Structure 1
Amino acid sequence: MAQEITVVATIKARPGKEEEVKALVCACAEASRQEATTLSYLPHQDLDDPAAFVFVERYTSRAALAEHEKTPHFLTMADAFKTLLDGPIQVHILRTLP
């Protein structure tokens, strides 16, 4: 049986690009929530650093995450991030401990 996973990802927008990043993140989140194997997809914006965004996502399995990363909405966001982000995306793929 596949194990449910949680993904925590953090990104930082380039100065002046916060609203563009926010729009992309929100569009991707809305579409991602419609995926059958997405249990939860919650993007956040840091109150003290509006350029910082944190995603907390839950999937039915690691394979489900891999499929999510092939969707048009994810690929559109990832492509745009190439010029909008200040540094690399930090991703943690987690499993719940008993």
Structure 2
Amino acid sequence: MNGLADPGYHGYRALMLALFGTSGQPSGWRTSAACGGQDTELFFDASHPERAAEVCGGCPVREQCRTDQLAWERHGSAARRYSPAGFVGGLTGRERKAIHYPRSAARDE
């Protein structure tokens, strides 16, 4: 069977385009990320966010990661911004949601 005929190929290609743009490749900074090779479940374990924070804490590309993640959430569906999941770029989903939907000063008073 030709790889292009595999039904999963088109879904995979669409995902790569959504995540990484027309190149379909991750940003170059990702090869330097401290999370490379880590079990991804670590970053979605809401009961122990400190474990993910420890990995992100010393990451040399944390700012690039955070910037890319926030841009991806901002330019996607409202669901991405309203219900961000996981620990990415040194921020929890709740912290990223607060960036996307900051409270006005009047509400906080």
State the TM-score, normalized to the length of structure 2. Answer: 0.33
Larger Rg: 2
Q: TM-score, normalised by structure 1?
A: 0.35
Q: Which has the higher contact order (CA 8 A, sep 6+)?
A: 1
